[in-house]
Amino acid sequence: MYRRKDFLGVPVVDAATGRTLGRVQELVVDSAGGRVLGFLVATGASVAFLGWEDVTELGLGAVMVSRVDRPLQGVRTRSASRPGAGRLVGKPILTPDGRDLGVVEDLHFDPTGAVLAWEVSGGIVHDLLEGRNVMPAPAGAVLGDDAVLIAGGRGHAPAGPGANRARERRRRKGKGP
């Protein structure tokens, strides 16, 4: 199993020529957060998208690719390179009933690109005292612009590490316990 953070900054190397094409800047996941679509690669002054289908080997020393004379595709934004795709890391996880389960801090994925689990932070204090939680990647998640929505109504999703943070925000705003 691989973790997203293990690949940040790793060189992307063309397997046919040995030429370094750039360095991994971020993973791009599908709109449900269940599959890695590719990598955002820093190529000097620009950022390009490298599709998962071009990756021949994943190594912690290099991501090997087969480009066959195709340049990397430039992207307009750092957050997404395809419609419905984007960044999952750094977004809060919310349930339909508004519970805050924490913030996605890392992704665990297999060699096929399937996202298996999310590493969830409950904040610095929680992380220091109890460590980060690792939750299985939920089926049917919705990757929104500002948050990740997961299925599970009242009684279905455990109160996550972010629950205290959400309660404190509501208390400060005078909107409940």
Domain boundary among 44, 74, 104: 74
Query: How many structural domains are present in the chain?
Result: 2
Cβ neighbours of residue 148 closer than 8 Å, sequence gap 6 or more: 33, 88, 91, 92, 93, 94, 104, 141, 142
Specify whether 65 is located in the same domain as 106: no
In a domain, 84, yes or no: no
Specify whether 69 is located in the same domain as 102: no
Specify whether 130 is located in the same domain as 158: yes
Specify whether 62 is located in the same domain as 134: no
What CATH number does residue 60 fall under? 2.30.30.240
By mean pLDDT, which of 70-74, 113-117, 130-134, 154-158 is the weakest?
154-158
Q: 153 is in which domain, residue-wise?
A: 92-173
Structure tokens at 150: 């997961």
User: Which amino acid, one-letter code, is at 113?
Assistant: G
In a domain, 82, yes or no: no
pLDDT in tens, 21-40: 999 999 888 877 788 999 99
Query: What is the reported pTM?
Result: 0.71
Domain boundary among 47, 74, 101: 74
pLDDT in tens, 50-63: 989 889 999 989 99
Specify whether 128 is located in the same domain as 162: yes
pLDDT in tens, 83-97: 344 578 889 999 988
Question: Residues 71-94: what's their mean pLDDT?
Answer: 62
